[in-house]
């Protein structure tokens, strides 16, 4: 549509050489929050992510486990896609550099460079860091090691094609100086200009001949196109660059290319120069964010469960993990990840501040007004301040997001959450409720709180996609798109009195820090080495490894509520208690075998990490185990003696 506001955001494409840890999930979660925020505020968004599958590093890793590179990457790419699904990543396209649509265009780009004289053939003699897929000169090395990752480098000498970087260096310097928003945050700009551009750019080696896992140079197929030229091109090949009437026309140049600070050089020097050579405009902003570190240094998968984003999301919810990542890395700096920081954030920001606000307000609406939202009639302390802050918060969130400061955006949203809690304490609703003359003021207080919670839920949508859904449901607004919209935040008092609200489950049950640390750190360590392969024989016999078995999170669960499901003879809806992990709702096919009341208090064995499903429209978040005899009789499995709910079964 003409005049439509568009927004194109990209993440780096990940190497599928290993499963991702919570640190490298950060970039994608941040890009997702940004994409969702732009959609919320009316933009037509294109959000691209994907995987960088070629190169010597991947080829070597595949060889080390005796797999064809494509078989090796297929498995990890499937894992990465599942991770993004579990973290609610709303990408519009996922590009794999092994796809035809990408490879053909990269080959054409390379030929064009050659034909227009940007590329020439010579011999490369110098250093190469395979983990970073980066060339280094002797002078650039840090004490014989890679200056970026500190690992060993290899000396290589082979015939290669070179790209004449110097042709474009002045134009690039000029662009960087004239467009201060091009490299963000600004501190990173100086690093690039002073360390790389000003000392003079050397020509870049753009092909290799000592391995074959990559895109061959079309006119000289012994040469494989340098993996960074291949990878960087994804940002335009995925849009359909070179095709008639493609997304490329609509979305290029990118608005934001989000990357970690370690790959800034590739994105602010090589990439813009390749684009200039293609006569294309440069991205508006390349944003190099800080790193999530462990207290004892760099993050790595070998640190086990505590850094596995899928384990963390399954145990603490994707929303809690997203919140933590988006809140914990301050603008332009590094953040520290520890289970302690994470649990503390869940307990303070999510359970105490947000969770309590919602549960206290809805409990009071239920108790004092039978769930019908009262009409505001009598003004009093804090009303104006709450309203002004609520109306101001969308602006401060928007301003922070326009600078990609997700942490600041959440901090300003939490000012409203905390101000709303303070409003409860100022107005003492339970005291007002004691006397009928206090009821009109009580009604106003409740109305204002519900309206403030609605503002908070709308503003939370980009950051935590699931929690607002649950809040809107409790507010009786689940199907009300208008009151879930950004536009509805320009007016205070949009929710109509008499809306039926209903308190739901707690949003974020409080966690016991010590218990979590014990359980998670005692948990199995997911080693860096690839898992031992299952032999064909074992597979045939249906044998599984201990690792496969331990993927199932079995727990003792106490049944605390049980009821039938309308129009179903077989199903019961149960609520089970899992100790510190809180309560879960589960639908079990046991109605023909147990009366609901007879189940209360039973300690059963429960599968706690099943993906939620809906059965007869009812959410089921797990499964009870039961023995089933051949005649169809059924008995729930229990523990041999009393054990606390939540105990792990292994
Ligand atoms: N394949 C290249 C990118 C090519 S883009 C054309 C690559 N892949 S990567 O898998 O090694 O890294 C992907 C991203 O994860 C990078 O942006 C990197 O900065 C980021 N992170 C890796 N570890 C990280 C943390 N501990 N914390 C935050 N981000 C981190 O580089």
52 close to ligand 1 (CB < 6 Angstrom): yes
pTM of the model: 0.81
The pLDDT tens digits of the residues spanning 370-384 come to 999 999 999 999 999
CA distance 379 to 402: 35
The pLDDT > 70 percentage for the chain reads 94
pLDDT at 526 over 50: no
CA distance 7 to 28: 16
pLDDT at 21 over 70: yes
Lowest mean pLDDT among 140-144, 504-508, 610-614: 610-614
Give the position, in ligand 1's atom list, of the atom nearest the Cα of 259.
17
Average pLDDT in the chain: 91
Determine whether 528 is exposed, middle or buried from the number of CB atoms within 10 Å of its CB (0-12, 13-18, 19+): exposed
- Pocket test of ligand 1: the residue of 14, 54, 57, 290 to mutate, having most ligand atoms within 8 Å of its CB, is 14
Say what the pLDDT of residue 583 is: 87
Say what the pLDDT of residue 524 is: 41
556 close to ligand 1 (CB < 6 Angstrom): no
182 close to ligand 1 (CB < 6 Angstrom): no
pLDDT at 537 over 60: no
**Smallest CA separation from ligand 1 atom 20, residue:** 24
Say what the pLDDT of residue 272 is: 98
Once rounded to an integer, what is the mean pLDDT over residues 127-143?
Answer: 89
Interval between CA 14 and ligand 1 midpoint (Å)? 6
The pLDDT tens digits of the residues spanning 262-298 come to 999 999 999 999 999 999 999 999 999 999 998 888 8
The pLDDT tens digits of the residues spanning 548-588 come to 676 788 999 999 999 998 888 889 999 998 887 788 999 99
Say what the pLDDT of residue 534 is: 44
Can you list the alpha helix ranges (DSSP code H) found in 233-317?
A: 234-237, 247-251, 264-265, 271-277, 309-316
The pLDDT tens digits of the residues spanning 290-332 come to 999 988 888 876 666 778 999 999 999 999 999 999 999 887 7
Tell me the two tokens of residue 455: 């503002």
Sign of CA pseudo-dihedral 614, 616, 621, 623: negative
What does the H/E/C string look like for 553-618?
CEEEEEEEEEEECCCCCCCEEEEEECHHHCEEEEEECCCCCCCHHHHCCCEEEEECCCCCEEECCE
CA distance 290 to 532: 34
15 close to ligand 1 (CB < 6 Angstrom): yes
Say what the pLDDT of residue 548 is: 67
Q: Which of 139-143, 205-209, 303-307, 606-610 has the highest mean pLDDT?
A: 205-209
262 close to ligand 1 (CB < 6 Angstrom): yes
pLDDT at 423 over 50: yes
- Domains of the chain from N-terminus onward: 338-490 (1.10.730.10), 540-649 (2.40.50.140)
Interval between CA 262 and ligand 1 midpoint (Å)? 7
- Pocket test of ligand 1: the residue of 21, 27, 261, 325 to mutate, having most ligand atoms within 8 Å of its CB, is 27
pLDDT at 527 over 50: no
Tell me the two tokens of residue 299: 């993050």
pLDDT at 522 over 70: no
Interval between CA 553 and ligand 1 midpoint (Å)? 30
Say what the pLDDT of residue 382 is: 96
Interval between CA 585 and ligand 1 midpoint (Å)? 37
Of 548, 554, 612, which Cα lies nearest the Cα of 584? 612
Q: 603 falls in which pLDDT band (50, 70, 90)? A: very high
């Amino acid at each position: 549509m003409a005049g439509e506001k568009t927004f194109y955001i990209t993440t780096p494409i990940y190497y599928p050489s290993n499963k991702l840890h919570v640190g490298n999930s950060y970039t994608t979660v941040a890009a997702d929050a940004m994409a969702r925020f732009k959609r919320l505020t009316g933009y037509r968004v294109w959000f691209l992510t994907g995987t960088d599958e070629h190169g010597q590093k991947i080829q070597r890793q595949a060889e080390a486990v005796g797999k064809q590179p494509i078989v090796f990457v297929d498995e990890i790419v499937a894992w990465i896609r599942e991770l993004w699904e579990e973290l609610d990543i709303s990408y519009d396209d996922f590009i794999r550099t092994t796809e035809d649509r990408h490879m053909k265009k990269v080959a054409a780009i390379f030929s064009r460079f050659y034909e227009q004289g940007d590329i020439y053939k010579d011999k490369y003699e110098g250093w190469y860091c395979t983990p970073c897929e980066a060339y280094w000169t002797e002078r650039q090395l840090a004490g014989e090691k890679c200056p970026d990752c500190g690992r060993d480098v290899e000396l290589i000498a082979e015939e290669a094609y070179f790209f004449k970087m110097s042709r474009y260096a002045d134009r690039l310097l000029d662009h960087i100086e004239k467009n201060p928003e091009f490299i963000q945050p600004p501190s990173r700009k100086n690093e690039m200009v002073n360390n790389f551009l000003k000392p003079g750019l050397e020509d870049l080696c753009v092909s290799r001949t000592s391995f074959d896992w990559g895109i061959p140079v079309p006119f000289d197929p012994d040469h494989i196109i340098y993996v960074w030229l291949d990878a960087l091109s994804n940002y335009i090949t995925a849009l359909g660059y070179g095709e008639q009437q493609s997304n490329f026309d609509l979305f290029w140049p990118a608005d934001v290319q989000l990357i970690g600070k370690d790959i800034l050089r590739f994105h602010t020097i090589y990439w813009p120069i390749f684009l200039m050579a293609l006569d294309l405009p440069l991205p508006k902003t390349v944003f190099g964010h800080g790193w999530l570190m462990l207290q004892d240094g760099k993050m790595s998968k070998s640190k086990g469960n505590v850094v596995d984003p899928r384990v963390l999301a399954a145990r603490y919810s994707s929303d809690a993990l997203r919140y933590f990542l988006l809140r914990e890395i301050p603008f332009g700096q590094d953040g520290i990840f520890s289970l302690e920081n994470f649990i503390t954030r869940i307990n303070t920001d999510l359970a105490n501040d947000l969770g309590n606000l919602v549960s206290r307000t809805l409990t009071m609406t239920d108790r004092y007004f039978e769930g019908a939202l009262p009409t505001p009639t009598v003004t009093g302390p804090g009303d104006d301040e709450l309203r002004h802050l609520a109306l101001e918060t969308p602006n401060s969130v928007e301003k922070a997001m326009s600078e990609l400061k997700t942490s600041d955006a959440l901090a300003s949203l939490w000012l409203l959450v905390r101000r709303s809690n303070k409003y409860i304490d100022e107005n003492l609703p339970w005291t007002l409720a004691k006397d009928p003359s206090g009821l009109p003021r009580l009604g106003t207080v409740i109305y204002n709180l519900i309206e403030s919670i609605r503002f908070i839920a709308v503003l939370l949508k980009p950051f935590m996609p699931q929690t607002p859904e649950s809040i809107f449901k409790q507010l009786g607004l689940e199907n009300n798109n208008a009151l879930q919209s950004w536009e509805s935040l320009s007016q205070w008092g949009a929710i109509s009195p008499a809306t039926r609200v209903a308190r739901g489950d707690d949003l974020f049950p409080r966690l016991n820090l010590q218990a979590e640390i014990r359980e998670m750190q005692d948990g199995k360590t997911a080693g860096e080495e690839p898992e031992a392969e299952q032999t064909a024989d074992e597979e045939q016999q249906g044998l599984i490894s201990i690792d496969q078995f331990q993927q199932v999170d079995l727990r003792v669960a106490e049944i605390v509520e049980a009821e039938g499901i309308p129009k179903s003879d077989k199903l019961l809806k149960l609520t089970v208690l899992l100790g510190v992990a809180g309560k879960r709702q589960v639908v079990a096919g046991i109605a023909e075998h147990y009366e609901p009341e007879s189940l209360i208090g039973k300690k059963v064995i429960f599968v706690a990490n099943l993906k939620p499903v809906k059965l007869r429209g009812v959410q089921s978040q797990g499964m009870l185990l039961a023995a089933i005899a051949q005649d169809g009789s059924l008995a729930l499995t229990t523990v041999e003696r009393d054990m606390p709910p939540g105990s792990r079964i292994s």
